[in-house]
Amino acid sequence: MDTILMNCPSCGNELTLQKAVGVKAHICVGGCGGFWIKIAEVKKLMDRLPGQGDSFLLIERAEGVRLFRNPEHPCPNCQTTLLYRHCFSRKLEMEIDQCSKCGGYWLDSGILAKLGDNYLGEEQKQNLARDYFKEMFDIKVRNMNMVNHDTLEAAKQIVRLFLFITPKPYTPTSLPLELE
């Protein structure tokens, strides 16, 4: 059921339901630009090509909204369960959280959204994507404690999410783990 009113855990803005190639997400349009995606939608990503969900990344954002908040914030879907923070980076202005109850993800992609900025040249965008994924995949995802199955699955889902939302020319070719 997608009719439930959801608010952004970052800025409190009402989330807007959007769809890309059959995958639904609740987007913070005109706010921080983050999005909520249910676990059922995340599972569809195995059948989607990289870059097909770039509309979730390239959306209208408010200037100056930052996500540096207390790490304890409620799931926009369950509204009572606190989200678990998988990854966070001030440098990248990025955060990835997951609800332990419903399994959905909250993703603030941070500076990766600048790939949609027209004032950046192609070389700047290539460098931005390279540097972003060097930190995101090589440091953040690889440092997740993947000893247990749940964390390994979360790491794979996070990588699939980023492959889905990153515009095709900037999709990383080197991945931190096998997705199969």
Q: What is the pLDDT of residue 22?
A: 96
Task: Give the dihedral of Cα atoms 136, 140, 143, 146; nearest 10 deg.
Answer: -80
β partners of residue 98? 84, 105
Q: Tell me if residue 24 falls in helix, strand or coil.
A: strand
- CA-nearest of 10, 2, 23 to 96 is 10
The predicted pLDDT at position 180 comes to: 73
Q: Which of 120, 121, 130 is nearest to 170 (CA)?
A: 130
- For the chain, residues with pLDDT lower than 50 are 1
Q: Which of 35, 5, 69, 3 is nearest to 161 (CA)?
A: 35
Which positions ≥6 away from 22 have C-beta within 8 Å? Answer: 44
pLDDT attached to residue 133: 94
Residue type, 130: R
Instruction: Give the per-residue pLDDT at 165.
Output: 94
pLDDT at 178: 87
Residue 86 amino acid letter: H
137-141 long-range contacts, Cβ below 8 Å, gap at least 24? 137/162, 137/172, 137/174, 137/175, 137/176, 138/176, 140/87, 140/89, 141/87, 141/176, 141/177
What is the per-residue pLDDT for 71?
A: 66
- Write out the DSSP string of 66-124: -----S--B-TTTSSSBEEEEEEETTTTEEEEEETTT--EEEE-GGGGGGG-TTS-HHH
**How is the chain split into domains, by residue range?**
16-169
Instruction: Give me the pLDDT at residue 148, please.
Output: 86
